[in-house]
Structure 1
Amino acid sequence: MESIEIKVTKLTEIAVLEDINRDDYFKFVCFGKIKLNEDEIEFEFTEEDGVGNTIKIKNQDGKLEEVNHFNNLNYSVIVSIFTESTSDYKDLAVGDFWDLKFEKKLWEEDGLLEEAY
C-alpha cells in the first residue's frame, strides 16, 4: 500500500500555556514550532473537553489564526501528534526528528490519518 512520508522535526520546546485536568473538565493549550518535511510551522494547539481540537497557525503578519485541520495534511499531522503522542513529542530534543508514514489512500479519499507500517 502506498504511503505518505512525513519527517517531523522539533524546532522549539513546547510552551504549555494552559493545562487543566479535573474530574469534570480538561483543557490543554500549547505553542511551538515544528518542521514537517520542508514546511516550518508556528502553531498553537488546543484540546478542550466538549469543544474538541483546534489549531491556530502564525500567519505572515505574525498573528495566530485558526485554521481547518481536516483538509490540510500538515495541520492534521500536528493535531494527530498532540492528541496521540504529546509526551513522546515533548521528550524529543530540539532538532531531533521522527519519520512518520500514513496510508495515502485513507488520507486522499477520507481525510483520515492512519499510520502505515
Structure 2
Amino acid sequence: MSFDVPDDRRYLESHEWTTTDDPVRIGISAFAQDELGDVVFVELPDPGEEIEADETFGVVESIKAVSDLYAPVSGEVVAVNEALFDAPELVNEDPYGDGWMLEIDPADDGEFDDLLTAAEYRDRIE
C-alpha cells in the first residue's frame, strides 16, 4: 500500500511531520493514522508552552492504541488545532490538512536538517 507523503514537509521516524515555513505546522502522517485506526482523542499542549525536538508534546488515542506524539523541532506553541477536540477524526480524514495539530514558532531552523526528507520517509514506510 502506498501512502501520501507530501514533499513540502520533513518527517520523524515516529511518523510526525512538520512544514518548514513560519510558523510551522505539525501533525502525524497518513501512514501513522492508518496504523492507529480511528482516532478518538487528541491531547495537545497549550499555546505559550515550549516543546523540545524529539520530546513528547501530546498523546493521540485511537480504537487500537494510545501513542505519544513527538516534536519534530523545538519551539513555542503559538496555536493548537482546537477543532480536533470536538472532531479528532479529522486526523484520519485529512492528516496533512484539517488534521494538523500544532503551530509553533521554531527555535532553531537548523533542526529541520535532522529530519527525514519526504523521499527518505517514503523509503522507511514502504
TM-score, normalising length: structure 1: 0.31
More strand by share: 1
